[in-house]
Amino acid sequence: MELFQYSKRNKIIWTKISWHSPVGSWQTIKVYYVLGNEVATLVDEYKPAGNYEVEFNLASGNRNLASISIN
């Protein structure tokens, strides 16, 4: 998994998550606030083996994110 972030004046604007799945499986990527509340589900579907990426735009939301969970 790779995580890329674009920032402007020390504020993260967007995050790009890239990953490789060696086998097909149900994949879930979720983003959480610092206190553990879920912000968004970016991926929640079956994906065949391959390379993937997803972007999460923070420009319109709260920037106090703590973690990204990949299952």
Give the architecture (CATH level 2) of 2-70.
Sandwich (2.60)
Cα(2)–Cα(42) distance, integer angstroms: 15
Angle made by CA atoms 6, 67, 64, in degrees to the nearest 5: 65
Predicted TM-score (pTM) of the model is 0.68
- Mean pLDDT in the chain? 76
Q: Domain coordinates of the chain in residue numbers?
A: 2-70
pLDDT, tens digit, 9 for 90 and up, residues 11-38: 666 778 888 889 999 999 888 877 778 8
**DSSP structure string for 25-59:** EEEEEEEEETTS-EEEEEEEEEE-SEEEEEEEE-T
